[in-house]
Structure 1
Amino acid sequence: MVGGNTAFVDNPSLTDRSGKKRRRKLVRVILDNRLQIPESSTLVQTAGETPTLIITNSNNETKIETLSSFGVDVARSDARDLKSVLEELRKRGLQSVLVEGGNEIAGAFVEAKLIDKVSFFYAPLIIGGSFAPNAIGGKGVNNLDEAFRLKDIEIIKHSEDFEITGYPFL
């Protein structure tokens, strides 16, 4: 799952690179109330091959019809209402969601306490700078006592990158 801004700016593929055998294809989900995703995006262009769902409250029928013509499934719901988003996914038989980002959506899920596992993937790069992108947006915390803490932490190396996985104390 990504937000509309991430889909627009990053043009991700959202492909499954886990190597795991799946009972069914994974569904790519985009939360995009403004329907800003371009028809030329990888997600739209490959929707016929990989199930793609956009959740939006937009009334732009022309854009919805265009996206549908590429095989994109469009669901009407407020993408900012995460509980209704998860209910929509449940109705479609989806029981597990990987929230990839961007940082606004990741932060919204953290603040709403709608997560049960966290995985951070790090590349050996240092970006730096006061305005450098971060993984989790939202309000943040005022002091470390309020910080989001993880337990049962596991660290896995993937080539040059590494993954830190943990489970939240909620």
Structure 2
Amino acid sequence: MTYSDTEWQAMGRARELALLGPRGINPQVGAVVLSPSGDVLAEGWHRGAGNPHAEIEALARLSPAEARGATMVVTLEPCNHTGRTGPCAVALIEAGVARVVYAVTDPAEPSAGGADRLRAHGIDVEGGVRADEVTETLESWLTVVRLGRPFVTVKWAQSLDGRAAADDGSSRWITGSDARADVHRRRAEADAIVVGTGTVLADDPALTARLANGELAPSQPLPVVIGTRPVPRDAALRSHPRGVLESRTHDLRGVLDELRERGVQSVFVEGGPTLASSFIREGLTDRVLAYVAPVLIGGTKTAIGDIGVETMSQARRLALTDVQRLGDDLLLVAEPIPTRPDERTH
């Protein structure tokens, strides 16, 4: 891999620009155009479906003379297909850019192949620059492309002995304020938050993301309720700023398909042991967040129920990717270990 320090720095800036764009069906992409001497000539980012892609927005800020011989630094391989907009690879060829540096190869079948097309027209192309950092930014979108469904995070809070509630059903609060604040931060980062009707009827949750001062966070997840029972008219969810989506089904894959069509890339499952176990049992979990409090409860209300494991050889193996101390509590972050190539999520 050959790239300059200037191109490395420009890719970092392109990643920052990408995050200015909205999350949705299309990826967040940023671009920086460099002159042959390494000066920044223009910047751009994708502003949502139907808008010019990041490369095109950046090129639009240049004169034809400035574009010729320039270097395009972009977080995702330039697309090679015609959708609502034309192929970025063709636009770069026609603009006369001399070099294209990108981070992540486009895995989407209709749009992939831009790098090869650029090389075929004599443009110098370098891929994989700061790929790990940009992949992290695109993680949920990449999952949508590769699996055909949103990235699913399953969260629960439990006692040290693995209970989610006391036998009378009470569960507030197992964890402390620091852990709850972390949950609200992660809610704000998700596109949708999913619970079952049992949780709605038992706890009447608001499912909003709130700041430390109690105010609503600027970004709110779409609340989704799965189950055949209706959400009561006076439920707290009815006042959610995003409204509420009721999925009158237990077909989890169908729910995820519907959410994908709505542009949802990331789903935060926060619906109690029954729903959490169902997502795990059906192999629809990409990340687990287990908030563990130093308290013993005992009893029968376990954090996870039947996940289809009858013997140890069927145990769901996870890779522990992070451990955080949150006040008196611990957060364990883990991801399933793929057992076959087609089970890999990212």
Kindly indicate whether the alpha-carbon contact (under 8 Å) linking 2:237 and 2:243 is maintained by their aligned counterparts in 1: no
Q: In the alignment, is residue 32 of structure 1 matched against residue 227 of structure 2?
A: yes
Q: In the alignment, is residue 6 of structure 1 matched against residue 174 of structure 2?
A: no
Letter in 2 for 1:29: V
Letter in 2 for 1:95: Q
Which of these residues, 42, 46, 51, is aligned with residue 243 of structure 2?
51
Alpha-carbon separation, structure 2, partners of 1:93 and 1:139: 29
Gaps of 5+ in 2: 1-193, 339-346
Q: Give how far 1:14 is off.
A: 1.6
Letter in 2 for 1:99: V
- What's the CA shift string for 1:79-131, capped at 9, x where partnerless? 211111001101111111011122111111111101111111122321102x2
Gaps of 5+ in 1: 57-78
Kindly indicate whether the alpha-carbon contact (under 8 Å) linking 2:320 and 2:332 is maintained by their aligned counterparts in 1: no
- Higher mean displacement: 135-144 or 86-95: 135-144
TM-score by length of structure 1 reads 0.73
Match of 1:104 in 2: 274
Letter in 1 for 2:202: V
Letter in 1 for 2:224: V
Number of corresponding residues = 141
TM-score by length of structure 2 reads 0.38
Which of the pair has the greater relative contact order for Cα pairs under 8 Å at 6+ separation? 1
Letter in 2 for 1:116: D
- What's the CA shift string for 1:11-38, capped at 9, x where partnerless? 122222588xx88531111112121x32
The secondary structure found in structure 2 opposite 1:97 is strand
Which of these residues, 311, 319, 328, is aligned with residue 143 of structure 1?
311
Alpha-carbon separation, structure 1, partners of 2:335 and 2:210: 22
Alpha-carbon separation, structure 2, partners of 1:140 and 1:84: 20
The secondary structure found in structure 2 opposite 1:98 is strand
Letter in 2 for 1:3: G
Kindly indicate whether the alpha-carbon contact (under 8 Å) linking 1:32 and 1:55 is maintained by their aligned counterparts in 2: yes
Letter in 2 for 1:111: R
Alpha-carbon separation, structure 2, partners of 1:149 and 1:113: 12
Alpha-carbon separation, structure 2, partners of 1:161 and 1:51: 32
The secondary structure found in structure 2 opposite 1:9 is helix
Kindly indicate whether the alpha-carbon contact (under 8 Å) linking 2:224 and 2:246 is maintained by their aligned counterparts in 1: yes
Q: In the alignment, is residue 87 of structure 1 matched against residue 257 of structure 2?
A: yes
The secondary structure found in structure 2 opposite 1:109 is helix
- Higher mean displacement: 99-108 or 22-31: 22-31
Q: Give how far 1:140 is off.
A: 4.1
Which of these residues, 157, 162, 166, is aligned with residue 325 of structure 2?
157
Match of 2:293 in 1: 123
Kindly indicate whether the alpha-carbon contact (under 8 Å) linking 2:209 and 2:220 is maintained by their aligned counterparts in 1: no
Alpha-carbon separation, structure 1, partners of 2:318 and 2:221: 27
Kindly indicate whether the alpha-carbon contact (under 8 Å) linking 1:25 and 1:51 is maintained by their aligned counterparts in 2: no
Q: Give how far 1:149 is off.
A: 1.4
